[in-house]
Structure 1
Amino acid sequence: MKKAIIIGASSGIGKGLAKLLADKGFKLGLTGRRKELLDNIKSENPESYINKAFDIKDINATLKNLEELVTELGGLDLLICSAGTGDHNEKLEFEIEKRTIDTNVVGFTFIADWAFHYFENQKYGHFVAISSVGGLRGSRHAPSYNATKAYQINYLEGLRQKAVKLKQPIAVTDIRPGFVDSEMAKGDGLFWVMPVEKVVRQIYKAIKSKKKVACVTKRWRLIAAILKRLPNIIYDKM
């Protein structure tokens, strides 16, 4: 039986992946800030899940709980980092920016490093992180969110380079969703908002094939391609 940990499994994409992987026969460690939501997931399938409630901004708690989960699972084949935050911040309030950076940069980096070291020591493994199509360009609405997702995209690329140099079967997958019908989809007039179930199915396919980068859903590949090529003189006015 394969073992996986999902960071940020209490809602949205993380919750959807937890249920899908359990159906596929995985033994799972689930984490999130909201214990009651994790408990609700476990109540549906108690044999498949081990839960730990903590906030990834707390590095000491993150380390302790990751080590406990690996021990209780009896190993680790796959770690998915689906935890993240972001808010519209038209007034550039620093506390909003700091909260986003503490989660999406500091917490993310600790988890990514921990996972990579673990897989390097056991000489195989798969690290998956949910970044965002938004990481391809900046945003006046949510400057820190898009910037931190750009950081994640580049960090994951660096980890892939490290894995190649090690010549070990360590896979690093960057999942870049567009707008998903979850708590993270904030704002009015959002377009092409995708249902969680569809997004999760496509993420699972990308994980199975150990893709390096996957935009989900597939139609968001078009948006990503346009964003990359849109001239600054046009993008700056959006």
Structure 2
Amino acid sequence: MKRAIVIGATSGIGRAVAERLAAQGYRVGVTGRREALLAELAASNPGGFCYAAADIADPAASCAALERLVSCLGGLDLCVVSAGTGDLNPGLDYALEEPALRTNVVGWTAAVDWAYGLFERQGCGHLVVITSVGGLRGGGAAPAYNASKAYQINYAEGLRQRAAKSSRTVCVTDIRPGFVATAMAKGEGLFWVMPAGKAADQIVRAIRRRRPVAVVTRRWRLLAWVLKHLPECIYRKMG
């Protein structure tokens, strides 16, 4: 039986991915801040899940929880890092930016380094990070969120480069969703908002194919390409 950990599995994309992995025969360790939701998920399939509650913004506690899950699972083949946060911040209030930095940069880096380090030591493994199409450009409505996702995209690319130069078989997959119907989808005028389940189906498919980068859902691939290549003079007027 393959063994996976999903970080940020209490709701949204992370929970949907964890459920699909368990349905496909994985034994899945789940972690997140809200212990009651993790316990509920584990109770729905006791043979498929084990859990350990921790806030990814607390790196020491998060990594300790991950170690407990590996012990429970008896090893690890796949780690999906889905935890993240961000708020609209038209007033540039640092109090709104700090949680995104602590979660999406500081805590995220600790979790990713922990997982990659484990896979590197054992000589194989698959690390999957859920970033965002938003990381392709800056965003005036939520500067820290977009910037933190750009950090994640570049960090994942750096790890793929590191893996390519190594004799170890470590795969790193960067999943970039567009708008998903979760608590993270904020603001007016959102379009092409996909259900979390639909996004999770395509994410699990990309994991199975060991894709280096995947944009979900499919219709967002064209928009992601346009965003990446749009001239600055046009893009800055779109906010």
Measured in 2, the distance between the counterparts of 1:64 and 1:180 equals: 30
**Corresponding residue for residue 130 of structure 2:** 130
Which letter maps to 1:190?
L
- Distance (Å, rounded) in 2 between the aligned partners of 1:149 and 1:167: 29
TM-score, structure 2 length as denominator? 0.98
Residues 138-177 of structure 1 correspond to what in structure 2 (within 5 A)? 138-177=138-177
Deviation at 1:158, TM superposition (A): 0.2
Note the alpha carbon deviations across 1:95-129, whole angstroms, 9 max, x for none. 11111001000011101111111001100000000
Look up the SS of the partner of 1:182 in the other structure. Answer: coil
> Any gaps of 5 or more consecutive residues in structure 2?
none
Q: Name the residue aligned to 1:31.
A: 31
Which consecutive aligned stretches of 4+ in structure 1 deviate over 3 angstroms post-superposition?
A: none
Query: Within the alignment, does 1:50 sit opposite 2:36 as a pair?
Result: no
Q: How many residues align?
A: 238
For 1:85, the equivalent position in structure 2 comes to 85
In structure 2, the residue corresponding to 1:166 is in which secondary structure? coil
CA offset at residue 156 of structure 1? 0.1
In structure 1, the residue corresponding to 2:47 is in which secondary structure?
helix
Task: Quote the residue 2:94 is aligned against.
Answer: 94
2: CA distance, partners of 1:23 / 1:62: 25
**CA displacement at 1:46 relative to structure 2:** 1.4
Which shows bigger deviation, 198-207 or 59-68?
59-68
In 2, Cα distance between the equivalents of 1:29 and 1:171?
Answer: 19
> Hey, what does 1:108 align to over in structure 2?
108
Question: In 2, Cα distance between the equivalents of 1:166 and 1:15?
Answer: 32
Give the TM-score taking structure 1 as reference length: 0.99
Give the residue type in structure 2 aligned to 1:139: G
**Which secondary structure state, in structure 2, belongs to the residue aligned with residue 25 of structure 1?**
coil
Partner residue, 1:117: 117
1:88 maps to a residue whose letter is L
In the alignment, the residues of structure 2 paired with residue 129 and residue 63 of structure 1 have an alpha-carbon distance, to the nearest angstrom, of 16
Partner of 1:64 in structure 2? Answer: 64
Amino acid at match of 1:18: A
Which amino acid is 2:146 matched to?
N
Deviates more, 1:128-137 or 1:187-196: 187-196
What corresponds to 2:40 in structure 1? 40
1:167 shift after superposition: 2.4
**Partners of 2:236 and 2:125 in 1: CA distance:** 41
Structure 1: gaps of 5 or more residues: none
Aligned alpha-carbon RMSD (Å): 0.7
Task: Select between 51-60 and 134-143 the one with higher mean Cα deviation.
Answer: 51-60
In structure 1, what is the Cα distance between the partners aligned to 2:174 and 2:216? 11
The percentage of aligned residue pairs carrying the same residue is: 55
Aligned counterpart, 1:179: 179
- 1:197 alignment counterpart: 197
Q: AA paired with 2:125?
A: G
Distance (Å, rounded) in 1 between the aligned partners of 2:192 and 2:50: 34
The secondary structure found in structure 2 opposite 1:171 is strand
Query: 1:38: Cα distance to partner?
Result: 1.1
Quote the Cα distance in structure 2 between the aligned partners of 1:52 and 1:157. Answer: 29
Deviation at 1:47, TM superposition (A): 1.4
